[in-house]
Amino acid sequence: MDEQLLNSISARADYRCEYCLIPDFLPFPHEVDHIIAKKHGGPSTFDNLALSCEHCNGCKSSNIAGLDPKTGRLSLLFNPRKHPWKRHFKWNGAVIVPKTPIGRVTEYVMNVNAIARIILRQNLADEGVFNF
C-alpha cells in the first residue's frame, strides 16, 4: 500500500482502530481494512479503507453484516465512514456496550469484548495511553 495513503488513513483514525478504538502501538501495529471487502466490490480507496487492529480486522474478515444476537435479524456491521461510533456504542469501563443493532452485530461478529481485549484496554488505560 502506498505510504502516503497509509499515513492519511492512520491520521484520519487518530492512530486508533476505528472499530474498538485501541491505539496503534508496537508490537501490535494496526492494519488497513477494506470496510466493504474487495470480494464484495469494495475499492481500495481512501473512503473504503479503515485503520483496524489485527484482532478486529481478523474477526471482521470480509463480513459486511451479521445476525443481531438479540433479534436474529440481519444487520450491517459498523462502518466508520458512515456510522458515528458513539451512536452505536458506549463505554462501561473497558467494556464496549452496543446500543443499536449495528452495535450488537459488530460486538458479536468482531468479538470486541473478548476477555483479552477488555484486559488490554484496561491495562492501556491504567498506563494512561487509552481513555474510555
Asked if residue 52 is part of any domain, the answer here is yes
40 inside domain: yes
Would you say residue 88 lies in a domain?
yes
Cis peptide before 27 (omega within 30 of 0): yes
Is the residue at 131 inside a domain?
A: no
68 inside domain: yes
Run means of pLDDT, 10 residues per run, the chain, 132 residues = 90 96 85 96 96 96 97 98 98 98 98 96 93 88
User: Which pTM value belongs to this model?
Assistant: 0.93
> Residue 19: phi, psi to the nearest 5?
-105, -55
Chain centre distance of CA 21: 7
If you count them, how many residues does the chain have?
Answer: 132
Query: How far is residue 67's CA from residue 99's CA, in Å, rounded to a whole number?
Result: 15
Instruction: Look at residue 27 in the predicted model and tell me its pLDDT.
Output: 74
Domain that holds residue 102: 3-126
Inside any domain, residue 132: no
Total domains in the fold of the chain: 1
